[in-house]
Each structure stands twice: as C-alpha cells, then as structure tokens.
C-alpha cells in the first residue's frame, strides 16, 4: 500500500514558490524574462535613435531596456555610456563604465576609446580609476575564469593541428576527432552551468569581444559535414539573455553554410590589380563602395520574419546600421562578420561577382 501523501497546503507558501523556480548555476537566469520580447526591441530602438543623433532618446531607450532585465549586455552598456557622455551626463557615464568593468572590460581598453577621452580630465574619471583595482578584483573573484580557460582550450585544440605542418590535409582525421570531442566537452559544460556560457559567467575578456573563442566549436559543426545542430541551444540562449541575437544568427548561418539571416549584409570587392576595379564604365569605382546581396521583396519578408523571431531588426535596418557603423567609431554597432571582403583576380571576375550585388548606399 502506497504511503499517504501530505496535503500541499501543509507546505509553506514561500517554499512552494521556491520549488516552482528552477535553480541554476552562476550566471544563469531563474525563470527570467524573454529578452526577445522585453529587451532587444528596445535596444534596436536605441540604435536607430543613435543613427539619427538623438542621443538623449537613445539613452532613455537603453535605461528602459536595462530596467526590464536582470542583466544587460556589455555592448549595450558601452553604447549607453557613450550616449550619456554625449549628453554630458557624467554620473550615468561612469555608472555604465563600472558595469563594463564588472563584466571584465579592462581600464586600459576604456582609456583608449575615443568616446571617453574628454572624461579623462574630470574628477569623476580619476575616482573611477582609483576604484578600478577593487572592481577588477571583484570581477576576477566572481567570474568563472577557470571555465573560461577550459573553453579557450577548445579553441587551442581546434587550431593546433590546423597550424601544424601539413594542416588539414595531413591531420584531417585527427581534427575530426578533436572537433567531435570539443562538441562533447562544450555540451557537458553547458549542461553543468545551465546553458550557454555567457558574459555574466565568464566575462567578456578585456576588449569587449563580439564572440568568445569557443564559438569556433559551433562554427565547425556545419550541415554539409553532418555536424551537431546547435540551433536549439543558440535560440534558447538568445531568449534567456545569454547571447546577442546577432551573434546567434551569424553562428546559425555558419552552421547552415547559407546567409539565411543575412548576418553578412555588406560586401567589398577588390581586384588584385586595383586599377582594374577603379576605372570601368560598368563597374564604376566598385572598390570604394559597399555592396549588398540582391534579394526579392518576398525573400526579404521571409528573412525579416526569421529575424524578428530572434529579436533582430529588419534586413533594411541592419544594413543601414552596419553602414553607419563603418563611419562612427564612437559606438559599438558593427560586427566583424557583417562585411565580406572579396578579392578577385580580374575585372571580369569582379563583373561576374557583382551581378548578384547592388549598391548598399
């Protein structure tokens, strides 16, 4: 005979609430908000306002976004700090710079940024610098730097035989085994820490990295080679606020071997002999222009639906933002992968390539 169960009412209410919330490791969210719904739309709005030079409006959007989630992204703190700087709000600028230090960004890196140069003569900056060692120590004690080192080792393992004599040709079988083992290790660490190892868990490195080194493990797992599909992991990471949606879109495009999300939105075409691309009636001065993939309205609508589901702006807004990023170094709006650089052997090759491209500007 089964033992009689005690009624649920006998359990204190606070304990019921505690049991209803999944407990996860450090740096993870506990039944947190959906960043795709409450955070990234506001960030997209802020970035559009930056492009329109409405820094006060952008700052308001950032502040609303930050208040909607338990942890914001370092990149967004940086851009918010720049907006605060441009609106002469020193107090808020320092506040967001402190948030960056908490995530692992170094003082040396911040000192080199053009946006904050005028602040470095102020008392508030000197106070910030004085407190930096303590905050840096707190970061190193809080972040899981051992895990970051283990994750960096995955990148080192991936690169070792590729850089060895003979490279992929000689060490192909060994590399396939390493790649498979790297996937197992990465998935095990994700399981152990409750999800994608995010910047709140391992920091963002000294230089505000766009992607951690271990992402190479994901990029190697392509559909063409029947690799492990990280799509569910990446999608969940975006919704949980562990991964920037642009980074997730790029990694999924890499796995698919296709530019499905249009993460690679701009292109530059250069001839081996520059004059071949500079003075041609058909090409024009193609080497000095940003180009973009030619797509139909129907295709763009489908891509926009995919992008919206991941918290991304439209293709048109993304293209405009990446163009803006090429000319304003004060903000961190661009992504390294957004611009593809093609090097072609001749004018004829450039013409063939540009048949599927149009001017982006």
Q: How far apart are CA 29 and CA 239, in angstroms?
A: 10
Structure tokens of 32? 């947190």
DSSP 63-114: HHHHHHSS---HHHHHHHHHHHHHTT-HHHHHHHHHHHHHTT--HHHHHT-G
- The rounded radius of gyration (Å) of the Cα atoms in the chain is 23
- Measured CA to CA in angstroms, residue 216 lies from 176, 183, 233, 305 at distances of 14, 10, 15, 27
The secondary structure of residue 270, as a DSSP letter, is E
* Fold of the domain spanning 29-142: 1.25.40
Q: Report pTM.
A: 0.87
Q: How far apart are CA 245 and CA 199, in angstroms?
A: 14
Provide the pLDDT for residue 57: 98
Residues of the chain with pLDDT under 50: 1-30
Provide the pLDDT for residue 283: 62
Q: How far apart are CA 258 and CA 302, in angstroms?
A: 15
Q: How far apart are CA 85 and CA 68, in angstroms?
A: 23
Least Cα distance to 204 among 248, 141, 139, 263 occurs for 139
The secondary structure of residue 9, as a DSSP letter, is G
Q: How far apart are CA 312 and CA 261, in angstroms?
A: 9
The sign of the dihedral angle between the CA atoms of 214, 215, 219, 221 is: positive
Structure tokens of 220? 């190697």
Q: How far apart are CA 142 and CA 135, in angstroms?
A: 10
Provide the pLDDT for residue 5: 32
Provide the pLDDT for residue 168: 79
Which residues 6+ apart lie within 8 Å of 353 measured at CB? Answer: 269, 342, 344
Residue 358 β-bridge partners: 292
> What is the bridge-based pairing of β-strands 291-293 and 357-359?
antiparallel
What's the helix, strand, coil split of the chain in %, to 5?
60, 5, 35
Q: How far apart are CA 167 and CA 145, in angstroms?
A: 30
Q: What b/e readout covers 299-333, taking b as 16+ CB neighbours within 10 angstroms?
A: eeeebbeebeebbbbbbebbbbbbbbbeeeebbbb
Provide the pLDDT for residue 151: 96
Tell me which residue has tokens 């402190």. 98
268 phi, psi to nearest 5 deg: -120, 135
The sign of the dihedral angle between the CA atoms of 342, 306, 300, 246 is: negative
Give the 3-state secondary structure of residue 111: helix
Q: What is the dihedral of CA 253, 256, 259, 262, to 10 degrees?
A: -40
Provide the pLDDT for residue 206: 85
Least Cα distance to 220 among 252, 256, 255, 260 occurs for 255
Provide the pLDDT for residue 16: 31
């Amino acid at each position: 005979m089964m033992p009689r169960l005690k009624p649920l009412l006998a359990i204190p209410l606070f304990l019921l609430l505690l049991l209803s919330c999944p407990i996860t490791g450090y740096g993870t969210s506990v039944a947190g908000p959906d960043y795709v719904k409450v955070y990234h739309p506001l960030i997209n709005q802020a970035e559009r306002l930056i492009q329109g030079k409405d820094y006060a409006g952008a700052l308001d959007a950032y502040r609303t976004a930050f208040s909607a989630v338990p942890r914001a992204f370092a990149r967004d703190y940086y851009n918010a700090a720049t907006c605060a700087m441009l609106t002469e709000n020193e107090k808020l600028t320092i506040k967001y710079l402190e948030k960056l230090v908490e995530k692992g960004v170094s003082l040396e890196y911040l000192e080199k940024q053009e946006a904050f140069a005028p602040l470095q003569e102020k008392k508030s900056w000197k106070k910030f610098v004085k407190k930096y060692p303590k905050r840096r120590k707190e970061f190193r004690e809080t972040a899981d730097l051992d895990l970051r080192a283990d994750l960096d080792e995955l990148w080192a393992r991936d690169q070792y035989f590729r850089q060895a004599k003979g490279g992929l040709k000689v060490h192909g079988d060994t590399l396939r085994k390493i790649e498979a083992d790297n996937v197992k290790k990465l998935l095990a660490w994700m399981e152990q820490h409750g999800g994608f190892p995010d910047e709140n868990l391992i920091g963002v490195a000294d230089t505000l990295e766009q992607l951690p080194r271990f992402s190479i493990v994901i990029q190697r797992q392509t559909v063409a080679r029947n690799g492990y599909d990280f799509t569910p992991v990446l999608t969940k990471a975006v919704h949980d606020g562990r991964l920037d949606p642009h980074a997730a879109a790029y990694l999924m495009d890499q796995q698919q071997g296709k530019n499905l999300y249009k993460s690679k939105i701009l292109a530059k075409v250069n001839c081996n002999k520059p004059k071949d691309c500079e003075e041609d009636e058909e090409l024009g001065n193609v080497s000095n222009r940003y180009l973009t993939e030619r797509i139909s309205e129907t295709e763009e609508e489908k891509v926009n639906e995919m992008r919206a589901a991941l918290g991304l702006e439209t293709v048109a807004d993304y293209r405009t933002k990446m163009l803006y990023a090429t000319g304003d170094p004060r903000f961190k709006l661009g992504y390294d992968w957004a611009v593809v650089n093609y090097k072609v052997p001749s004018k004829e090759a450039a013409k063939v390539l540009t048949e599927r491209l149009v001017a982006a500007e």
